Every structure is written in structure tokens, then in C-alpha cells.
Amino acid sequence: MLGIKKRYITIVALIVAVSMFAVGCGGGAEQGADTDKEQAADVIKIGVYEPLTGTNAAGGQMTVEGIELANKLYPEVLGKKVELFIVDNKSEKQEAANAVERLIGKEKVNVIIGSYGSSLAMAGGPVALDAKVPVIGCSPTNPAVTLDNDFYFRVCFIDPFQGTVMSNYATGQLGAKTAAIIQDVQQDYSVGLSSYFEKAFKATNGDTAIVAKVNYNTGDKDFSAQLTEVKSKNPDVIFAPGNFLECGILVAKARELGINVPILGGDTWEAEEFLNQVTQYKDIYFSTHFTAEEPVTQVSTTFLDEFKNEYPDKEVNAFAALGFDTYILALDAMERAGSADSQAIRDALAETKDFQGATGIITLDINGDATKTAVIKKVADGKFVYETKVDPQ
């Protein structure tokens, strides 16, 4: 008995040693943070958690550029300096939860901004809710992010809205009665958006309106089988949300096969790589958050000018604009609340109405989701062209 026991309990000893070490480190760090806090008593702290490395890094970086630009333009609120704490969440859920916990526990931030990638935002949300610190999301479009969480808000529209907008556009503007869906079964974004589109399209055009729903996988390069099936069903429009890479090939292939009906997609299509594949084609539409051609508000103009000054080599993008909006919304809420207290900021955020952002006029609904204008763009003459705005009904 003793012999067996000895073997395993030995390991346990090490755990204790290591845990002790951890606590030692932890204790030290905590003291450090406390002194920092005293020094910076008259600073307002905004925490930012974004994926700066890993699979979502590109989106996270664009967002942070927008936030930093806004911070540069508006460095003060309530007569105090605003300090940004930007932490990387590695595009991983457990890191995102750690990052939020760190921002709240160690840096003692007043309000948090983030994160690109709904999955990451869903990991950070409960932590902020527990600590009662408000979070404003820039681009997590999954409806579950703000669901049942009073401290999570966002300035972007949500996937069901995007799906509904495209469905309404297809029915109203393009006069479609039937549609085919081509989805990437490996991408939650694609599967999600497809189901919202399907739901909305069936609601307006009847249960048989979706004539085909075919699947492909991320990384596929040959879509002839799927497209032949779609062609045989002869739909009025095709809805194919997904990665810009696969969709670029898919759309080009569809046109080669003589499928000339309009093809619709989501906000991921707004990428150079997609455009290069489909330059010579037309009737390609997608919804997005923002357009540089048609400034929606006064703030859009400011944002566009300043962005070009600050990052002359970079293309203006929706994610930077959304990051910009989150930051100015946070400042606006603090001004309306007249305080930097987390609870006061939350209450002010919940009452946000007709807020002028770079991406449009934002009103936050009871869930904390933005009701705002979506932009529809199309491919024409080898570039993305602004087509129309769709207001929330």
C-alpha cells in the first residue's frame, strides 16, 4: 500500500512546489500593479483584447489600427488622459478569457474593447460580466455574444441581420423568387450566414424558394460538381458566403460555366484576393459594414481623412472603421455618464441612441446590438463599387 502510494504522491509534491512558485510570482506582480495604479490615478484606462497573432491576426490588427487612430485624435475624456492597454488573445478562447481577466484584475481598466472573432468575444464576455465591466465589441457578428449578457455591446450588425439584408436585397432589388445556397461546411461563419439567409428567404418567398443547398470544404479548388448541380436547378440568385479565397475561385468558375445569375456573399468578400479573381465579371454583390465612397456621417469623413494621413500605404477597411467607432463610442458614453465608473459607463452605453460613428448611425437595442445601416457593394469595372444602403426596418 505504502509502496504504491509513494510513487504517485511524489508527483503531487512537485505540483505544490510549482504552485507556490506561481503564487510567489503572482504576489509580486500584484504589488507592482498597485503602485502603478496609484501613479496613474488620473488616467482613464481602456483595455483592448484583440487577436494580434494566430489565425485571426489580420482582422485584429486592422481593428487595433482603427482604435489607435481614434486614440490619437481623441486622447482625452472628462479632462483626463486616456490610456490604451492592448493585449493579444492569440486567436484562442482560453487566452481571450485570460486577457479580459488580466485587463480587469491587473490593469483595472474602466471599459474594454474587443474582440474580432465571435468565438473569442464569447470567451471574454462572461469574465467581464462577473466583474461588471462593460465591453464594446467591434466586429463579433455572432448573435450569441451579447445574448443574455448585460455588459456586452457592439457597434457592428449581427449575422442574422446580414443574412436578412441580403435576402431582402435579392427579393426586392434583384426580383429573385428562388435561390441556391453554396456553403463552406467547415466555416461556422458560412454555415451561420447561410442559415439566416435561408430562414429570411423562405419567409418571404415560401418554403420551396431555396432550390439547392450544396456544400464544399475550406481549401477546395474545384467547384464544378457543386456548380453543375446549382445550374441544373436554375435559381434566380446564388448565395455563397465564405472565405474570400475559395469564393473567388467559385464565383469565377460559376461565370465560366455560364451561370449568369447574380451571386451574393457576406462581408468577408471585401478583400483584394477576392477582387483579383472576379475582376472581369459583374452581378456580384455582398454586404459590408462601411464604404469609403459614400461617407455615411460627418465622422466617416473625419475617419477617412485621418486614416489616409496616418496609414498612407494602407487600404481603408471596415474593421479599422469599426475599431474607431468602438473607441469614440466608449468616450461618448463616459461623457454622457459624466464619470469613468464601469457601472455608469454601462448604463450610458445601454442608452446609446443615434450615435454618429464612422460606419453609420448607431442605436443600441435591448440586447446591446447595433441597429444600423448595412452597405451593399458590387463588383464593377474591376473594383468594388458602392451599390446601396439598407436601413434596418
Partner 1 sequence: MDDKKQIKFILNIAVLALICVFLWWGNDNLSSFYIRILNLSAIFVILGISMNLVLGFTGMFSLGHSGFMCIGAYVASILTMSPASKEIIYFMEPITPILAQIQWPIFPAIIMAGVVAALFGFLVGIPALRLRDDYLAIATLGFAEIIRIIVTNTITITNGALGLKNIPSVKSMWVYWGIAIITIIILKKIVNSSWGYSFKAIRDNEIAAEAMGINLFSHKLLSFSIGAFFAGIAGALMAFLITSVDPTMFRFTFTFQILLIVVLGGMGSLTGSVISAVAITILMEVLRVVEEPINFFGLLQIPGLPGMRMVIFALGLLLVILYYRQGLMGTREFNWDYILNKIDSFRKRGASM
> Could you tell me which stretch among 26-34, 203-211, 253-261, 368-376 binds partner 1 (CB under 8 A)?
26-34
Query: Do residues 237 and 179 touch, judged by C-beta distance below 8 A?
Result: yes
Main-chain dihedrals φ then ψ at residue 219, nearest 5 degrees: 95, -10
Nearest approach, Cβ of 225 to partner 1 (angstroms)?
A: 18
Q: Which is nearer to partner 1, 16 or 258 (CB)?
A: 16
Pairing of strands 152-154, 80-88: unpaired
Q: Which is nearer to partner 1, 12 or 353 (CB)?
A: 12
- Rounded CA gap, 146 and 364, in Å? 11
Q: Which residues pair with 384 in a beta bridge?
A: 379
- Rounded CA gap, 126 and 278, in Å? 42
Among 116, 189, 197, 223, the residue binding partner 1 under the rule CB under 8 A is 189
> Could you tell me which stretch among 88-96, 270-278, 293-301, 365-373 binds partner 1 (CB under 8 A)?
88-96
Among 34, 36, 130, 293, the residue binding partner 1 under the rule CB under 8 A is 130
- Rounded CA gap, 303 and 311, in Å? 12
Q: Which residues contact 374 (CB under 8 A, 6 or more apart)?
A: 157, 161, 162, 165, 287, 288, 289, 389, 390, 392
Q: Which is nearer to partner 1, 163 or 360 (CB)?
A: 163
> Could you tell me which stretch among 48-56, 238-246, 274-282, 336-344 binds partner 1 (CB under 8 A)?
48-56
Q: Quick one: which of 50, 140, 38, 143 has its CA closest to 100?
A: 50
> Could you tell me which stretch among 117-125, 205-213, 273-281, 321-329 binds partner 1 (CB under 8 A)?
117-125
Nearest approach, Cβ of 357 to partner 1 (angstroms)?
A: 26
> Could you tell me which stretch among 94-102, 222-230, 287-295, 329-337 binds partner 1 (CB under 8 A)?
94-102
- Is residue 41 part of the contact set for partner 1 (CB under 8 A)? no
> Could you tell me which stretch among 17-25, 75-83, 228-236, 318-326 binds partner 1 (CB under 8 A)?
17-25
Among 43, 185, 211, 350, the residue binding partner 1 under the rule CB under 8 A is 185
Q: Which is nearer to partner 1, 173 or 204 (CB)?
A: 204
Nearest approach, Cβ of 319 to partner 1 (angstroms)?
A: 16
> Could you tell me which stretch among 16-24, 202-210, 234-242, 383-391 binds partner 1 (CB under 8 A)?
16-24
Q: Which is nearer to partner 1, 101 or 283 (CB)?
A: 101
Among 48, 59, 82, 92, the residue binding partner 1 under the rule CB under 8 A is 92
Cα–Cα–Cα angle for 207, 212, 217, nearest 5°? 130
> What sign does the dihedral 181-182-187-189 (CA atoms) show?
negative
Q: Which residues contact 35 (CB under 8 A, 6 or more apart)?
A: none
Q: Which is nearer to partner 1, 66 or 360 (CB)?
A: 66
- Is residue 11 part of the contact set for partner 1 (CB under 8 A)? yes
Q: Which is nearer to partner 1, 34 or 391 (CB)?
A: 34
What b/e readout covers 201-221, taking b as 16+ CB neighbours within 10 angstroms? beeebeeebbbbbbebeeebe
Q: What cell does 47 get?
A: 483595455
Tell me the site size for partner 1, rule CB under 8 A: 70
Q: Quick one: which of 369, 358, 296 has its CA closest to 328?
A: 358
- Is residue 95 part of the contact set for partner 1 (CB under 8 A)? yes
Binding flags for partner 1, 201-240, as an x/- string (CB under 8 A): ----------------x-----------------------
- Which residues of this chain interact with partner 1, rule CB under 8 A? 2-16, 18-20, 22-23, 25-26, 29-30, 52-55, 57, 86-88, 90, 92-95, 97-98, 101-102, 104-106, 117-119, 122-123, 125-127, 130-131, 142-144, 147-148, 185-189, 191-192, 195-196, 199, 217
